[in-house]
Amino acid sequence: MSEQILTGKKALVTGASSGLGLAMAKALAQAGATVALTARSSEKLADVVAQLQAQQLEVFALEMDVRDEQSIAAAVQWVTAHWGTLDLLVNNAGIGMRTVNPDFLTKPQPFYAVTADGFRDLIDTNLTGYFLVAKAFAPMLVEQGKGKIVNISMNHETMRRRGFVPYGPSRAGAESLSLIMAEDLREHHIDVNMLLPGGATETGMIPEEAKAAVASHFKLLSPEVMAEPIVFLASDESNGITGERIVATEFASWKAQVRSV
């Protein structure tokens, strides 16, 4: 990923202090982009950004809560003041089933056992958060007449698996949101696509005590599986590709098919 194909590009990645977000932010920066990493925890974010800066990568830390419109507005103001433009927005910030049921993998709960507060909190982060962040940055992209938005999703199996309310519905909603966003922004030459790993990943979404059990059933993917596809989606090579649902583990075959059309 050392080729500098994204030199001059400006990108913002939400939920970038760990996991998929961090892997994507690092890949974008290594490909030459200037990247703003956002997260709720300023301390953790500062640590990872310092590590990336030590690798001579052009990255910045922005504390932002995707559930808070004022916090998002402050991030928009920062981007406007420091960059004046944005080429790529990656909606990745999210929380998992463990926030609702810590034992969701071994003792799944029916939807009617989920608390209303737990449901709202997860939906507010995983779905409403995508909407609020995209809504806030969209006017800048529309004014530019160009830009790209990538919304991170998960396997369809997760959306219908027993015991996966509200995580499943949050991701299903985000996919519908993405498809409609793609149509709303098509006339402005703004591409909106979905990207998902293609399986369970080695991230904080899976409790440490459950990782061994999960790994015994299938191999956990490295977050770096997102690197190649996110760099492609940020590049000029992907201009005009919109409304797509891209599975990272199948990226090579997907890309070959797109090129053949």
State pTM to two decimals: 0.93
pLDDT tens-place string over residues 158-210: 999 999 999 999 999 999 999 999 999 999 999 999 999 999 887 755 655 55
Instruction: Give the mean model confidence (pLDDT) for residues 140-153.
Output: 98
Give me the pLDDT at residue 220, please. 87
Q: Which domain holds residue 160?
A: 10-260
Task: Report helix angle 19-30 to 42-53, nearest 10.
Answer: 30
As given in the structure block, the two tokens for residue 166 are 């509200």
The 3-state DSSP class for residue 247 equals: strand
Q: Residue 261 above 90 pLDDT?
A: no
Instruction: Give the mean model confidence (pLDDT) for residues 69-85.
Output: 98
Instruction: Give the mean model confidence (pLDDT) for residues 142-158.
Output: 97
CATH of the domain at 238: 3.40.50.720
Which one of 210-214, 249-253, 254-258 scores highest in mean pLDDT?
249-253
Q: Is residue 217 part of a domain?
A: yes
Average model confidence (pLDDT) across the chain: 93
Token match 């608390």: residue? 115
Q: Is residue 150 part of a domain?
A: yes
Distance CA 101, CA 135 (A): 30
Q: Is residue 225 part of a domain?
A: yes
Q: Is residue 4 part of a domain?
A: no
Q: How many distinct structural domains can be found in the chain?
A: 1
Q: Is residue 163 part of a domain?
A: yes
Q: Is residue 229 part of a domain?
A: yes
Q: Is residue 1 part of a domain?
A: no
Give me the pLDDT at residue 18, please. 95
As given in the structure block, the two tokens for residue 53 are 């800066």
CA distances from 215 to 108, 208, 219, 221 (A): 18, 11, 5, 10
pLDDT tens-place string over residues 97-145: 999 999 998 899 999 999 999 999 999 999 999 999 999 999 999 999 9
Phi, psi of 186 (to 5 degrees): -55, -45
Least confident of 11-20, 69-78, 160-169, 200-209: 200-209
Q: Is residue 3 part of a domain?
A: no
